[in-house]
Amino acid sequence: MPSSTKRPHVTIYTDGACSGNPGPGGWGAILISGTHRKELSGGEQLTTNNKMELTAAIEALAALKRPSKVDLHTDSTYVQNGIRQWIHGWKKNGWRTADRKPVKNAELWQRLDEQRARHDVEWHWVKGHAGHPENERADELAREGMAPFK
């Protein structure tokens, strides 16, 4: 991982939402650095919840203009397990699972891996819908991102 020396510290909260799975979906992210706060969101007509969870993390990291020390909070165990555990084996296996099947959402995982490489990222899991203000706001942003496609 890149060194965190003199890098800005950014705290990120992400969430994805989907109406139907697949169906219309949205993603949301909050980026906080010192007194600065930025909210991002977007959506797609036909997607899955997991794709939106991944997209939220990708877009949040891509929005950082320079390499940063990042604490990224997600309520997605899929993203959390994938980026911390599974991705290493997938890369070794040519983006195939242990049973040699193609990794689902491989293109998104590759994009997330590219963005992660630019930063010093600590991944944190937060329980969804448990009253955490930033996680709740990320969920609202994801639903707002989905709204035009419903």
CB 145 within 8 A of CB 42: yes
Q: Six-digit token pair at 84?
A: 């911390």
Residues in the chain: 150
Catalytic residue list contains 42: no
Catalytic residue list contains 113: no
Among the listed residues 9, 15, 136, 140, the single catalytic one is 15
Phi, psi (deg, nearest 5) at residue 25: -145, 165
Among the listed residues 28, 44, 73, 139, the single catalytic one is 139
Catalytic residue list contains 120: no
Among the listed residues 25, 42, 53, 119, the single catalytic one is 53
Amino acid 120 reads: D
CB 103 within 8 A of CB 109: yes
Among the listed residues 73, 75, 82, 145, the single catalytic one is 75
Dihedral sign for Cα atoms in the order 123, 127, 132, 135? positive
Catalytic residue list contains 82: no
Q: Six-digit token pair at 24?
A: 């219309």
- What are the Cα distances from residue 19, in Å, to 47, 51, 76, 126? 9, 13, 16, 22
Catalytic residue list contains 36: no
Catalytic center residues: 15-16, 53, 75, 129, 139
